[in-house]
A = this chain, B = another copy of it.
């Protein structure tokens, strides 16, 4: 458990969520960071044509927030919704950042958080750029096997970047 997570848990506000409950929607102003105590969240974009693409699944233990909203108070670039019953803890990031200007300990906690975030995005970028949908599915199974079993096919497909039909074909190909 990182210091940043401790900090969020101890100072944040706990929220119970049910499947379909949104923490925020694309376009909202919400500069909270959220820690997932239980359940799974998904972060997703809605494109102009209505298609949904999933940025990431956030199982228990994850930390999430819209970076552009956290950093610049811009509207959130994606939506955050629960896919299972669970509990999350929310904490306003702006206050954190303010406090960090004075508090060296807090500042270093923030640095750790941002570093981990950057690493996660770097890996995701690699997967999207260098792996085929089929390979991305395999990576997902290896790295987040539990998530893969708790999330429906449509969402898995939207995470990998294909349609549910294509995912179905991929699974058949892999089996044989």
- The distance in angstroms between the C-alpha atoms of A42 and B129, with both chains bound, is 15
Copies of this chain present in the complex amount to 2
| B-side contacts of A117, CB under 8 Å | 114, 118
A141 to chain B, nearest CB (A): 18
Known: A45-B130, A104-B102, A107-B107. A125 touches B121 (CB 8 A): yes
Known: A107-B111, A114-B115. A128 touches B128 (CB 8 A): yes
Partner of A100, one of B103, B108, B124, B125: B108
User: A172 contacts the other chain (Cβ, under 8 Å)?
Assistant: no
- The distance in angstroms between the C-alpha atoms of A161 and B131, with both chains bound, is 10
- With contacts A45-B130, A67-B118, A107-B111 known, what are 15 further pairs, Cβ within 8 A? A66-B122, A67-B115, A68-B122, A70-B115, A77-B123, A77-B126, A100-B107, A100-B108, A101-B108, A104-B104, A107-B107, A111-B111, A118-B121, A121-B121, A129-B161
Q: Which residue numbers of A lie inside 8 Å of B, CB to CB?
A: 45, 47, 51, 53, 55, 66-68, 70-72, 77-78, 97, 100-104, 107-108, 110-111, 114-119, 121-126, 128-130, 161
